Amino acid sequence: MSKTEHILITGAAGQLGVELTAQLRERFGADNVLATDIRDNKAVSASGPFEELDVLDKARLVQLVRDRQIGTIYHLAAILSAKGEANIPWTWKLNMNGLLNVLEVAQEQMDGGNKGSIEDYSDSKHDASARSNSYSGGIQIFWPSSIAVFGPDLPREQTPQNSPLNPTTVYGITKVAGEQLCAYYHRRFGVDVRSVRYPGLIGNKSEPGGGTTDYAVEMLRAATRGKTFTSPLKPDTRLPMMFMDDAVKAAMDLMDADAGLVRIRTSYNVTAMSFSPRELLEEIRGHINGFNVDYEPDQREKIAASWPDSIDDSDARRDWKWEPAYDLPAMVNEMLRPVS
């Protein structure tokens, strides 16, 4: 990021957005990181500049990018898996049109209006390091995908980077389409867009956003309050997970990487740990005696059953040296720190 360029975050009031905003402001200075969302949130507006922004309003997005000299966009605004099933048309509209607006703004801001052509960016002789020359003056984009892109026909253990993408939710469908849209804008126009497929994210500084894996946050909170938790998943349903500090680190590490090292322009598999509700319960009981969980699987169990048990993220580890810091014991210890 140059001295004249600033960072814009969409969906900054969300679970990932709150913590990413804080980390970016600590690194680059509060005045250089503009947080945006559809409504004010004191968690982000109290520490730096904040603007209300609906990502479907492209004119407003363009105005902020130009007025604030934005050079990097972290586009986080989205409707997640469980909430998405309750409103399919709105989930598609927000998730897809919001991403398209961000990609279009980046395309339009390329140096000299040179938007490239299919021939410019699709020929195999133009590798990523050569393409990086086209990014000068362009907007760099981070966009999160998800393990929701996977479906029931995949290898459930150590799911490879290149696996069938046949999701069972509208959220997952928007993520598959979004991955391809990102790769297309990179290939055709040279837009420097980067992405990771997040597993379930666990943090304690903001409210969960309506995802299937949010049960883990809810269970940990119930434990700190001394309440029995009712799990929406079966006891042995394992899912890939990640502590929020590692989620922020993954985004920032990928954005820091030299363009020539970023080989995958759909989305990288990343993970940190895998566990089931039963395994999380046992880890919590190591800190809080007598904590209990009841099991009443609902529609979230059906969604979780179509997702991997564990993820192979060797491409991210090789290409840009991805390495998580938190495993299950470290994550639970951090989440329960106030009561440990």
Q: Which sequence positions are flagged as catalytic?
A: 171
Comparing C-alpha atoms, which of 174, 189, 196 is closest to residue 266? 196
Phi, psi of 225 (to 5 degrees): -95, 0
Residue 335 amino acid letter: M
Q: How many CB atoms lie within 10 A of CB 152?
A: 12
Degrees (nearest 5) of the Cα angle 204, 209, 215? 65
CA distance 240 to 35: 29
CA distances from 310 to 15, 51, 198, 317 (A): 22, 38, 12, 15
The answer to whether the CB of 248 falls within 8 A of the CB of 23 is: yes
Give 128's contacts (C-beta < 8 A, 6+ positions apart): 259, 260, 261, 262, 263
Degrees (nearest 5) of the Cα angle 52, 54, 57? 120
* Cα Rg, the chain, nearest whole Å: 20
Q: Is 47 exposed, middle or buried (0-12, 13-18, 19+ CB in 10 A)?
A: middle
